Amino acid sequence: MHRLATLVALLTLTLFTLAVFDQTTDGLDLAVVGVLLSFTTWRSATMSRFLQILAAIFAAEFVAFGLILTFAERGLWPESLASFLPPDSLPITVGVFGLIIHAISYIPGIASIMRIADRYFDGFTKVTVRPWPLPAFTIREQTLSRGFVVFLVLINQAQVGISVRLSYFNRDWFNALEEKNSELFWRLLYTVFLFWALIYIISAIVEYVIQSQLMIRWRRWLTERYVGDWLGDGGHYRLALQGNSADNPDQRIADDVDMFISRTYNLSISLIATLSSLVSFSIILWSISSNFTIPGTDIAIPGFLFWVACLYSGFGTLITHLIGRRLIGLYFNQQKYEASFRFSLARLREYAEQVALLRGEPTEQRLLMSRFGDVIRNFLAIVSVRKVLMAFTAFYGQISPFIPYIVAAPFYFIGKILYFRCGLSLGRKTFDKF
């Protein structure tokens, strides 16, 4: 991490030097982000291993994209590769993501989650892998797991880029249809859509395979360690003597390890993809409404559609959170009650002979139904919350397709927008085609 921080600092120093030499402020915003990022990247050597992987990815991307744009501004980028230039805002975006990763590492809840995750990403166990079509080789588990995470983050970011490209394809394709330009219509379909759609499908399959490999290896590794901790040195017997202080460790190992891994993945790598998509399409929204004014007035609001989208999505997210936050505790209790009920059933089968000899069936039945009653009561509480949540999300989902039209219609009528088609591309974007 220290070497990577040094590279970020060198790029930042270069940007400052060029700004002073050219007597311009261009690149100073990138340099400011670079100063902060170099500091946090240097400090990240002490934080969670899992978060270090994410921080390293963003720092490396900051350097790579920053150098590419610097070369382009100096005329050192090949003209043949001009279409592959990243947006000017991309280095700042990944730099801010790196700063966010460092900031969340100080949240107590995140730190607790990462302490569990890091057990796997710090594992020194040697494993043999056979990636097709390469021959088998031996590698440390920590190296393999970190490589999986890096690959998954990069492939998610690539998918976001493909989604952005396809949104532009939709715009151009429908324009060609309206203009009755058959040559452009078919050329876009065959040379743009089919190519990128095929790449997206292949990437999704590869992502699924690698993600499945990571999650099953992660689960096997953690399960093996927790079973070892539970059975080692008579731990299972001592836990039983402590009464209810240990909440069904066998059930927790069987169920909670899997849930922990899937949710950690969704709240890290999948969230990064979502944020990348958000930033990418926010740039599109900002660019198409950079000079819009409030309808009926002369008050200009740069990026008007961007702010409308933020307010609309923020309102929906806030209401959804307020309605559904009780589900966190309810789902936790549901797991607990279900585990207790399963344990009671297994215990009854184990001691079936003693229960029969003592004629304890009525007592056992009352105990089982009491614990199943906890399952029912908690389940009904979940239903009560979810029905309200579903009512809001269903209403929100019904009106969402019309919001882009309602917001953009005034600008279409006054000629600010030439082609009025609001819609979705790959199910992730709103306000993306005009």
Q: Is the pLDDT of residue 38 over 80?
A: yes
- The answer on 195 and 261 residing in a single domain is yes
More confident residue, 68 or 45: 68
* Helix residue spans in 44-140 (DSSP H): 49-73, 90-104, 108-121
Structural domain includes residue 279:
no
- The answer on 250 and 161 residing in a single domain is yes
More confident residue, 9 or 82: 9
More confident residue, 336 or 296: 336
- Angle, helices 49-73 vs 141-178, to 10°: value is 50
Q: Which residue has the tokens 């930033």?
A: 279
Q: Is the pLDDT of residue 331 over 80?
A: yes
Last residue of a domain, one of 106, 134, 159: 106
Residue 241: per-residue pLDDT = 62
Last residue of a domain, one of 106, 132, 166: 106
Q: Is the pLDDT of residue 212 over 80?
A: yes
pLDDT tens across 276-293, in order? 777 777 777 777 766 676
Contact yes or no for 255/340 (Cβ under 8 A): no
Q: Is the pLDDT of residue 422 over 60?
A: no
**CA neighbours closer than 13 Å in the CB half-sphere of residue 358:** 11
- The answer on 127 and 97 residing in a single domain is no
173 is in which domain, residue-wise? 123-267
Q: How far apart are CA 156 and CA 204, in angstroms?
A: 9
- The answer on 138 and 51 residing in a single domain is no
Structural domain includes residue 114:
no
Residue 96: per-residue pLDDT = 82
Structural domain includes residue 283:
no
Q: Is the pLDDT of residue 434 over 60?
A: no
Range of lowest pLDDT (7-11, 141-145, 264-268, 298-302) = 298-302
Q: Is the pLDDT of residue 339 over 70?
A: yes
Q: How far apart are CA 161 and CA 197, in angstroms?
A: 12
Structural domain includes residue 282:
no
Q: How far apart are CA 155 and CA 166, in angstroms?
A: 16
Q: Is the pLDDT of residue 430 over 70?
A: no
- The answer on 183 and 313 residing in a single domain is no
Q: How far apart are CA 191 and CA 198, in angstroms?
A: 11
- The answer on 295 and 231 residing in a single domain is no
**Structural domains in the chain (count):** 3
Q: How many CB atoms lie within 10 A of CB 409?
A: 14
Structural domain includes residue 111:
no
- The answer on 257 and 127 residing in a single domain is yes
- The answer on 263 and 173 residing in a single domain is yes
- The answer on 137 and 57 residing in a single domain is no
- The answer on 319 and 433 residing in a single domain is yes
Range of lowest pLDDT (152-156, 265-269, 316-320, 322-326) = 265-269
Structural domain includes residue 116:
no
Is the preceding omega at residue 410 within 30 degrees of 0, hence cis?
A: no
> Mean pLDDT for the chain?
79
Q: How far apart are CA 27 and CA 14, in angstroms?
A: 10
Structural domain includes residue 117:
no
| 248 band by pLDDT with thresholds 50, 70 and 90 | low
| 397 band by pLDDT with thresholds 50, 70 and 90 | confident
Structural domain includes residue 57:
yes
Give every CB contact of residue 339 below 8 A, 6+ residues apart in sequence.
247, 248, 251, 252, 255
- Report helix, strand and coil shares of the chain as percent, to nearest 5: 80, 0, 20
Q: Which residue has the tokens 């559904």?
A: 324
Q: Is the pLDDT of residue 87 over 60?
A: yes
- The answer on 341 and 424 residing in a single domain is yes
Q: Is the pLDDT of residue 433 over 60?
A: no
Residues 202-227 have a mean pLDDT of: 87
| 202 band by pLDDT with thresholds 50, 70 and 90 | very high
Q: Which residue has the tokens 């990437």?
A: 203
Q: Is the pLDDT of residue 297 over 70?
A: no
Residue 225: per-residue pLDDT = 81
Residue-by-residue DSSP string for 114-128: HHHHHHHHT---EEE
Residue 429: per-residue pLDDT = 36
Range of lowest pLDDT (62-71, 75-84, 260-269, 324-333) = 75-84
Contact yes or no for 265/211 (Cβ under 8 A): yes
| 25 band by pLDDT with thresholds 50, 70 and 90 | low
Contact yes or no for 121/53 (Cβ under 8 A): yes
Residue 247: per-residue pLDDT = 63
Residue 427: per-residue pLDDT = 34
| 425 band by pLDDT with thresholds 50, 70 and 90 | very low
Residue 238: per-residue pLDDT = 67
Q: Convert 52-70 to b/e letters by CB count within 10 Å (16 or more is b).
A: bbbbbbbbbbbbbbbebbb
- The answer on 252 and 169 residing in a single domain is yes
* Helix residue spans in 105-248 (DSSP H): 108-121, 141-178, 182-188, 194-231, 235-241
- DSSP β-ladder status, 137-140 and 126-129: antiparallel
Cross-strand partners of 129:
137
